Amino acid sequence: MAQGTVGLFDSGVGGLTVAAEVFRMLPEQRVIYFGDTAHVPYGGRSVNELVTLADRIISFLCTQGARYIIFACNTSSAVSLQVLRDRYQVPMTGLIEPGAAEAVRVSTAGRIGVIATEATVRAGAYARAIKEISPDCEVFSKATPQLVPLVEAGEIDTPRAEGVLRAYLEPLKEIGIDTLILGCTHYPFLRRPIARILGTGVRLVDPAAATVRAAMLNIRRLGLLPGDRSHPKTGANSAGHLFYVSGPVGPFASVVRRFLGCEPGLVVQVNLDHKPKTTGG
């Protein structure tokens, strides 16, 4: 497949865990990523706010040449995807259905835990998607709002992170879950301490890989992105990937560098409320 442009977005650095899968599975595609760090966290926001934020970002990504959108945010996938699919022609894939299918596939006893933001849990999207595939599965959902601020602050393997995780996870372990969905794209950053607390008896499901696989099949089925050279070259690194943030550039650029192991080139700050403002990264 010739190079095209896939747009991804999240409230912050979490969606980079999905971008990593795009780089792995769709290396020929150029990525435009939007991290809405001026509005992170998304998890405590209302449906209206979440739809408005995602709408603005998708519209922006489309003007930047995105021809396929991957929601790299569970909260937006759970709350906004359905509404926005009706407003845009650009095809979109979210994390919930692929993540639910993957959890059902790997679960041995049909006792599936979900940790996610308050908005994702309130929307009930994972429970619904799992039950649709396998009505006999039991789903135990838990809102874990303290985790996103920890990850955004770079607190991954600290005693404080361990304490917060234990308080959230031990009740799920006691209930006897055999599988846990990491239902927020920030949480794979905490995979190591989560695995340590839950032990080997609980399988961890990060929906990112299954989601990008679903998007890849869709992209091929639709015959999309062939020979797309329409993207602007300004600000792109050697692979042409572009990272936009609505908040400060520095902390985000350093996570891109550390986590994706790639030089982000320019990270561009954009305020979608006003006229875009560009700064070097």
Distance of CA 112 to the CA centre of its chain: 20
Q: Tell me how many residues contact ligand DGL (CB under 6 A).
A: 16
In whole angstroms, how close is the CB of 166 to ligand DGL at the nearest point? 21
Strand ranges (E), 50-120: 68-71, 92-93, 111-116
Question: Ramachandran region of residue 132, left (φ > 0), alpha (ψ -120 to 50) or beta?
Answer: alpha
CA separation, residue 204 to residues 42, 177, 193, 207 (Å): 23, 11, 12, 10
- Whether 73 sits among the annotated catalytic residues: the reply is yes
In whole angstroms, how close is the CB of 251 to ligand DGL at the nearest point? 15
Q: What is the CA radius of gyration of the chain?
A: 18
Query: How far is 139 from 125, CA to CA, in rounded Å?
Result: 11
Does position 206 interact with ligand DGL (CB under 6 A)? The reply is no
Does position 94 interact with ligand DGL (CB under 6 A)? The reply is no
- 182: enclosing H helix or E strand: strand 179-183
Rule CB under 6 A: choose which of 4, 8, 9, 11 binds ligand DGL: 11
Query: How far is 191 from 42, CA to CA, in rounded Å?
Result: 21
Query: How far is 187 from 208, CA to CA, in rounded Å?
Result: 11
Rule CB under 6 A: choose which of 35, 41, 98, 207 binds ligand DGL: 41
Candidate segments 124-132, 156-164, 182-190, 272-280, binder of ligand DGL by CB under 6 A: 182-190
Candidate segments 40-48, 106-114, 215-223, 251-259, binder of ligand DGL by CB under 6 A: 40-48
Q: Which residues contact 232 (CB under 8 A, 6 or more apart)?
A: 64, 65
Rule CB under 6 A: choose which of 5, 29, 185, 246 binds ligand DGL: 185
Candidate segments 179-187, 201-209, 211-219, 222-230, binder of ligand DGL by CB under 6 A: 179-187
Query: How far is 10 from 76, CA to CA, in rounded Å?
Result: 8
Does position 10 interact with ligand DGL (CB under 6 A)? The reply is yes
Candidate segments 106-114, 183-191, 213-221, 240-248, binder of ligand DGL by CB under 6 A: 183-191
In whole angstroms, how close is the CB of 135 to ligand DGL at the nearest point? 26
119: nearest Cα among 67, 48, 47:
47
Rule CB under 6 A: choose which of 29, 37, 74, 211 binds ligand DGL: 74
In whole angstroms, how close is the CB of 2 to ligand DGL at the nearest point? 30
Q: In 3-state terms, what secondary structure has residue 122?
A: helix
Rule CB under 6 A: choose which of 7, 35, 43, 264 binds ligand DGL: 43
Binding site for ligand DGL (CB under 6 A): 10-11, 14, 40-43, 73-75, 117, 120, 148, 184-186
The catalytic residues are: 73, 184
